A and B are shown apart, each in its own frame.
Chain A
């Protein structure tokens, strides 16, 4: 493909950080074709393929499923595969790594902290007592599925962490996605845990001040803010009525 003279261009200002080379992140500008069907991620791929092969960023599926390509686009946490360049025409558009995370290189951030938090909430079906045989089906009614389905849509893209002012101020906060995913299992009729020991902590649900930005930026329409407030009700009732579980 050659860029014809008529193709308009848009300037992308991309945050660069090359460890050992840059003392701090700097912006580098690239002019890329402004195509109607190009997402921000297509612009970045164009830069890497044609203009500057040293640019680093994460991506995989290009269709809003894998959750790898979350970045800060003009100050807002977005999935770059679902954000179109035309939205920012005539430009320039600024691409930065997700806020609130240490930068490894360019647009790539370190998400180890989130992965540790996620596994701390036991994000799997916890069962007690005798297990049915592996071939047995555990049927659920549509209502039982609806109770947790929304939270199961999370793709761990971390836009909610990046948008959460509580997390950015206090990195010990368990955070929106980990709590929403804990609720995904808590509200599943097959699960027998309530994760009270890891959620009823000052740095877990009680750290949330219900700003609601997590829900606003979620590309999968999960409502982490609601998940947290619902767990606050459960945890408060369980604290007042110690004999009540779930």
Chain B
């Protein structure tokens, strides 16, 4: 029997799936509101003070951070496999994985810091 080797894939895949679910649920609504309905005048633009007050709430910030972080890891996972398979560079998987997930991690740190210090 082959020895049991620990692989990071289950954890990376959970972040990827989580990101997929969140992106599919949240982003279309945001695009519909801010990209279509508000420019068309179907829905009124929220005023800046209202948005600022909303973003000032701790729970809203945590939710925003979760959405951004999961979406970044979703994108990293997709970019990793798409580039490896379309460009035929699967033999550099370790390096590509470090670049993709590293980018997602860096973006996550920036996002969390913004959510923490934004006034």
In the assembled complex, B57 has its CB within 8 A of some CB on chain A = no
Provide the residues of chain A in CB contact with B81, threshold 8 Å: 209
Provide the residues of chain B in CB contact with A201, threshold 8 Å: 2, 5, 7
Tell me if A236 and B10 are in contact (CB < 8 A): yes
In the assembled complex, B14 has its CB within 8 A of some CB on chain A = yes
Provide the residues of chain B in CB contact with A235, threshold 8 Å: 10
In the assembled complex, A197 has its CB within 8 A of some CB on chain B = yes
Q: Given the complex of chains A and B, what is the CA–CA distance between A238 and B13 in angstroms? A: 13
In the assembled complex, B47 has its CB within 8 A of some CB on chain A = no
In the assembled complex, A87 has its CB within 8 A of some CB on chain B = no
Question: Within the complex, what minimum Cβ distance (angstroms) separates A29 from chain B?
Answer: 33
Tell me if A202 and B10 are in contact (CB < 8 A): no
Tell me if B7 and A236 are in contact (CB < 8 A): no
Tell me if B10 and A197 are in contact (CB < 8 A): no
Chain A, range 198-246, C-beta contacts under 8 Å to B: 198, 200-202, 206, 209, 232, 235-236, 238-240
In the assembled complex, A170 has its CB within 8 A of some CB on chain B = yes
Question: Within the complex, what minimum Cβ distance (angstroms) separates A242 from chain B?
Answer: 11
Given A165-B85, A169-B90, answer yes or no on A197-B13 (Cβ-Cβ < 8 Å): no
Provide the residues of chain A in CB contact with B4, threshold 8 Å: 197
Residues of B within 8 Å of A, CB-based: how many? Answer: 15
Q: Mark A137-171 against chain B: 1 for CB-CB distance below 8 A, else 0.
A: 00000000000000000000000000001100110
Residues of A within 8 Å of B, CB-based: how many? Answer: 17
Q: Given the complex of chains A and B, what is the CA–CA distance between A201 and B9 in angstroms? A: 8
Question: Within the complex, what minimum Cβ distance (angstroms) separates B96 from chain A?
Answer: 14
Tell me if A206 and B9 are in contact (CB < 8 A): yes
Tell me if A240 and B11 are in contact (CB < 8 A): yes
Q: Given the complex of chains A and B, what is the CA–CA distance between A170 and B90 in angstroms? A: 9
Closest to B11 in A: A239
Closest to A203 in B: B7
In the assembled complex, B95 has its CB within 8 A of some CB on chain A = no
Q: Given the complex of chains A and B, what is the CA–CA distance between A61 and B46 in angstroms? A: 69
Q: Mark B8-24 against chain A: 1 for CB-CB distance below 8 A, else 0.
A: 01110110010000000
In the assembled complex, B1 has its CB within 8 A of some CB on chain A = yes
Give residues in A with beta carbon < 8 Å to B: 165-166, 169-170, 197-198, 200-202, 206, 209, 232, 235-236, 238-240
Q: Besides the contacts A200-B10, A240-B10, what 17 more A-B pairs have beta carbons closer than 8 Å?
A: A165-B85, A169-B85, A170-B90, A198-B2, A200-B7, A201-B2, A201-B5, A202-B7, A206-B13, A209-B81, A209-B85, A235-B10, A236-B10, A236-B11, A236-B14, A239-B11, A240-B11
